[in-house]
Structure 1
């Protein structure tokens, strides 16, 4: 070991300053996390606008076609806790880089699926490996970024997610319209590999991470600690509800717009995902508001914005319906930004597990509500989908108001 490495190892972790806003490390970490958020959402949700095409090619109902996304989010949810335990031994950066790279390769392989069951298997494997990214990213930011800048940093990570969700959907919509869904998935896979390389190059090494031995044995006590907290279980519940509503709306809005009386093209329907760009602004805006006024005073407002947008989509007038999708999307990314950064502030230890639990419920909501609302689409069309999503968002608003009563965390 070199002299400089020995000296660095001798410095107590507690004495090393956290990454401060405006520093070169802050810019590098935010650039890396932007690419990380981009890759996670692009690789995960690039299949969403392809669901009507898969329905046609493989003779599937809307609910059956939604499984191409639900199996990924469900598998991701199940792998999050295991990934958090592994990261306590291996470190944050190596696991995140590996997860992004393998998920991108799996997306490439999906382009060569011979049938729908094979495609579902590969999408499930993608979800398993991608579990090593989102919770670990939240834990990394909670450990490395100074507390007063965490809301901004988390908002920038969420904005990368918004951009990735938009880019993945637009790329697959346009390419599937002009070529095929296989070419579309292969292109997203290549973009994911490039994002993984930039993430690896940019992200500063952890300076506040301490490896934990016996990570698996520590899980039960970690579960008890986080579930006994006054706020964390409510934040987990909120994640389940808002993410389930968000994914469901984008799952089935495509079916509504492709059918009568609109009969829009695949490319035009894919362009609806440009509303994700609103999330790039709203997540950072909400993060700044949370840092300034407190998360408990901001979160319920964001949930209310989301519910308002959902109700506007009931209109049959296309401009008003699209305005509703825009407002809904704006509110979702703002809600997620505030809630996820709050988890990082409330978890006093084992932050990776706390983040994993938040995202477990987040992606479980995507899988469960996303598939269940497909059955309502089959029986009651768009009003049925809106009814179940409105119920979920009213519950989310009540949860946010319950969280408003919590004392602030220093």
Structure 2
């Protein structure tokens, strides 16, 4: 997965929500979950709560919305991971260890994880479009300042502030899509936003690799900041005004109740764990891969190491295709395929042959982005109230996974080389598979009880 009150008319809330008792947890009305519910896309909104005004593929505004959020995704991932491909150079430049340098990535993702829920609450009051614009604006400003950091401590602090600023964007974007896009098109729309993430991650890393080889890591980080400026301006100009956003209040107690209800919902809790564990794998792999490729037996220059991230294009394709995958295999089936593909990539990448390392990265990237698109869209589909908070909790788990994966991946690499990083990833994937299998069994038991009650 709208600007508040920029003149957009408020619309009614779903009549079904109005008749639910206060204790009903968000998402309890739907039977879908990537790891728990039915395999079919429940159309708890296929009646099109907003009537013909909801955006649909081919309809007016849909392309502008898709391009705007695609560019927001590009800017978010380019900024968030702007130092990841440069870690070997930052390590040398500051005379730091790899684990210390990895904090330039982990501090940004960790701060995002901590701040995403509070900022999502602001989006409920001031609007999705307003929050996304403010987040990008502050993050872009910090991106322009980051190249001038005098030491590693200041660099880490600026990166943490940048991650905190970006926290207002992902959850607001998914809530915007859930409110403005027709339910049947939601997985595809979120898949395009996730595809923007993959393009941003790729372009930022490729750009920094070649710029750093010519002019150093500071110039490379500055180039990413300029790319983000262009994306932020285009995003604001393109994103349609919201038509289905209703402002809420900033009541901390109400926020606490909403967050607790989401965490108590077993469907959502499983999705949060799945997103976090997937990101442990991805964060570990892409934090460490530069160190592996710069050393023997590969000894690649920085520009080529940055170009390795072109495999993110595979993620662009797999995330955008997640909707078709779900229609063919169901949400749980799509998750099993994502886990299997990612695990195969980890195992293939163990070999000290560049072509196999690249093949492994392709499989890891394809599996990860497909799994992320399915899990994140399932959160937006499941939560029928407090969508921004539901998406924010997913994003919090997701980026905590990234932060933990980056740090643990570096520790595992220095303890046992690339094999240690692969083992860490396989353990995390075993967790995803176990959670999904538990959901599959829970769904079958629920179906059996329903059949018995019906007879």
TM-score (structure 1 length as normaliser): 0.95
Could you tell me how far 1:46 is from its partner in structure 2? 1.4
Could you tell me how far 1:24 is from its partner in structure 2? 2.1
Residue aligning to 1:349: 385
The partner residue of 1:235 within 271, 293, 296 is: 271
Residue aligning to 2:25: none
Cα distance in 2 for residues equivalent to 1:73 and 1:406: 33
Residue aligning to 1:308: 344
Residue aligning to 1:131: 167
Paired residues for 1:273-352 under 5 Å:
273-291=309-327, 293-352=329-388
The partner residue of 1:206 within 242, 245, 262 is: 242
Q: Does the CA contact (< 8 Å) of 2:140 and 2:228 recur in 1?
A: yes
Q: Does the CA contact (< 8 Å) of 2:380 and 2:391 recur in 1?
A: yes
Q: Does the CA contact (< 8 Å) of 2:9 and 2:244 recur in 1?
A: no
Could you tell me how far 1:62 is from its partner in structure 2? 1.2
Cα distance in 1 for residues equivalent to 2:440 and 2:164: 34
Q: Does the CA contact (< 8 Å) of 1:138 and 1:154 recur in 2?
A: yes
Query: 3-state DSSP class of the match of 1:218?
Result: helix
Paired residues for 1:246-265 under 5 Å:
246-265=282-301
Unaligned runs of 5+ in 2: 1-5, 14-48, 445-455
Could you tell me how far 1:10 is from its partner in structure 2? 7.7
Paired residues for 1:112-261 under 5 Å:
112-261=148-297
Q: Aligned residue pairs: how many?
A: 403
Could you say if the C-alpha distance between residues 10 and 120 of structure 1 is closer, same or farther in structure 2, counting changes exceeding 3 Å?
closer
Cα distance in 2 for residues equivalent to 1:269 and 1:378: 19
Could you tell me how far 1:405 is from its partner in structure 2? 4.5
Query: 3-state DSSP class of the match of 1:238?
Result: helix
Cα distance in 1 for residues equivalent to 2:233 and 2:221: 19
Q: Does the CA contact (< 8 Å) of 2:282 and 2:405 recur in 1?
A: no
Cα distance in 1 for residues equivalent to 2:233 and 2:441: 43
Cα distance in 1 for residues equivalent to 2:428 and 2:381: 25
Q: Does the CA contact (< 8 Å) of 1:314 and 1:321 recur in 2?
A: yes
Larger deviation: 389-398 or 292-301? 292-301
Residue 405 of structure 2 corresponds to residue 369 of structure 1:
yes
TM-score (structure 2 length as normaliser): 0.86
Residue 91 of structure 2 corresponds to residue 55 of structure 1:
yes
Could you tell me how far 1:387 is from its partner in structure 2? 1.0
Q: How well do the aligned residues superpose, as a CA RMSD in angstroms?
A: 1.7
Residue aligning to 2:82: 46
Could you tell me how far 1:407 is from its partner in structure 2? 5.2
Cα distance in 2 for residues equivalent to 1:234 and 1:10: 33
Could you tell me how far 1:294 is from its partner in structure 2? 3.0
Q: Does the CA contact (< 8 Å) of 1:149 and 1:291 recur in 2?
A: no
Could you tell me how far 1:406 is from its partner in structure 2? 6.1
The partner residue of 2:109 within 73, 83, 91 is: 73
Residues 48-102 of structure 1: CA distance to partner in whole angstroms, max 9, x if unpaired? 0110001111111111110000000000000001111111110000110111121
Could you tell me how far 1:221 is from its partner in structure 2? 1.1
Q: Does the CA contact (< 8 Å) of 2:73 and 2:194 recur in 1?
A: yes
Residue aligning to 2:30: none
Cα distance in 1 for residues equivalent to 2:12 and 2:289: 53
The partner residue of 1:93 within 129, 137, 153 is: 129
Residue aligning to 1:401: 437
Cα distance in 2 for residues equivalent to 1:73 and 1:368: 9
Q: Does the CA contact (< 8 Å) of 2:297 and 2:352 recur in 1?
A: no
The one of the two structures with greater contact order (alpha-carbon pairs below 8 A, sep at least 6) is: 2
Unaligned runs of 5+ in 1: none
Residues 260-297 of structure 1: CA distance to partner in whole angstroms, max 9, x if unpaired? 11101011111110000001110011122224543223
Cα distance in 1 for residues equivalent to 2:91 and 2:190: 36
Query: 3-state DSSP class of the match of 2:148?
Result: coil
Residue 144 of structure 2 corresponds to residue 108 of structure 1:
yes
